[in-house]
Structure 1
Amino acid sequence: MLTEKDTTDLIVREIRSLLLDQDGESGSISLDDALGSVGLNSLMLAQLLIQLEEELGVDPFGEDLSIADMRSVGDLVSAYQRAITTAAAA
C-alpha cells in the first residue's frame, strides 16, 4: 500500500508533468497550495484525475466527496490516500 508520502510525491510529480507540458515551467508545489495557484486549469485538473485514477487504481470521488471540494494539493492527496486505504481494507 502506498504511504501518504508516496501519494504526495506521485500527485506532485503528475502536476509538474502537466504544467511542463502546458508551458514548460514548473515551480515549487506544496500541500498548502491552491490547485489554481499552481497553474492548473479545469482541463488540466481533469487530465490529472484521469492519470491518477490510472496510476493509483482508485477514484475517490462519488456521493460523499466531489472534486469541487478540492481546494488544495493537500486536499487532493488526502482524498486519494483515503481511497487507497479504503480499497486496501476491502
Structure 2
Amino acid sequence: MTMRSTIVAEIEAITRDHDKTMPPLTDDMVLMDTEFDSLCFALLVARMEDHLGVDPFGTMEVADLPVTLGDLVALYDRAAVANAA
C-alpha cells in the first residue's frame, strides 16, 4: 500500500465513522475547505503514527503545515524516509 493510499483510506474511514462528507480526495484538495475538522485530523495523525511510528508534526513550524492533501502525503513520505534512515 502506498503512503497516499494509506492516508486516503484513513481519511475515508474517519469521515465515515464521524458522518462527514468529503469532496473527491485529489492532491490539490485544500484540507481546510472540507468537513475534516481538528478532531478528524488528530485521529488521522494518531493512526498514521501507529502505521509509521513517527509523528512528522512534532518538530514542525506552523508555516510548514500542509495545506493540500498532496502536501500531507509529501510530508508523510518524507517522514517515512527519515524514520527509515
Global fold match (TM > 0.5) = yes
Higher relative contact order (CA 8 A, sep 6+): 1
TM-score by length of 2: 0.83
The 3-state SS of whatever aligns with 1:58 is coil
TM-superposed CA distance for 1:68, in Å, is: 6.6
2:75 is the alignment partner of 1:79: yes
2:33 is the alignment partner of 1:37: yes
TM-superposed CA distance for 1:32, in Å, is: 0.8
TM-score by length of 1: 0.79
TM-superposed CA distance for 1:27, in Å, is: 4.5
TM-superposed CA distance for 1:64, in Å, is: 4.0
Cα distance in 1, alignment partners of residues 65 and 20 from structure 2? 28
Unpaired segments ≥5 residues, structure 1: none
Tell me the residue number matched to 2:48: 52
Unpaired segments ≥5 residues, structure 2: none
How many residues align? The count is 85
In structure 2, relative to structure 1, the CA distance for the partners of 1:18 and 1:24 (3 Å cut) is same
Identity fraction in percent = 34
TM-superposed CA distance for 1:28, in Å, is: 2.0
The letter of the residue matching 1:72 is T
